[in-house]
Amino acid sequence: GENVEQHPSTLSVQEGDSAVIKCTYSDSASNYFPWYKQELGKRPQLIIDIRSNVGEKKDQRIAVTLNKTAKHFSLHITETQPEDSAVYFCAPRNTGFQKLVFGTGTRLLVSP
């Protein structure tokens, strides 16, 4: 948690391509790694999460991979669709503490 950065800040892909968003964090005690999606004019909602005892998790077209040593985790979206267009936020967290800080956000645009 705490210092949380995302790259890239914007990402444009063609429909059907893959997209990867990376989140880096500074708190080595972080042990919970969620990704949230915020569509235009809507609230952020959790789409996938992973805990530190797992290196990778997949749910249909989305997956999250974790590299605790390097202190980063990534969101992978395959076969992108226009409805994947949104802002994506990571929020790494130490589950022993309640504080919830979001990353800087990545705007994904999927063109038909």
Partner 1 sequence: DAGVIQSPRHEVTEMGQEVTLRCKPISGHNSLFWYRQTMMRGLELLIYFNNNVPIDDSGMPEDRFSAKMPNASFSTLKIQPSEPRDSAVYFCASSLTGGRGGTEAFFGQGTRLTVV
User: Hey, what are 65's tokens?
Assistant: 């991979």
Complex with partner 1: residue 41 or 112, whichever CB lies closer: 41
The verdict on 95 binding partner 1 (CB under 8 A) reads: yes
Stretch that binds partner 1, among 12-20, 21-29, 37-45, 65-73 (CB under 8 A): 37-45
The verdict on 63 binding partner 1 (CB under 8 A) reads: no
Strand partners, 50: 33
Number of residues that bind partner 1 (CB under 8 A): 23
Among the listed residues 110, 83, 81, 112, the one whose alpha carbon sits nearest the alpha carbon of residue 11:
110
Complex with partner 1: residue 102 or 109, whichever CB lies closer: 102
Among the listed residues 111, 102, 108, the one whose alpha carbon sits nearest the alpha carbon of residue 9:
108
Complex with partner 1: residue 32 or 78, whichever CB lies closer: 32
Strand partners, 80: none
CA-only gyration radius of the chain, Å: 13
Q: Which residues bind partner 1 (CB under 8 A)?
A: 31-32, 34, 36, 43-46, 49, 51, 89, 91, 93, 95-96, 98-105
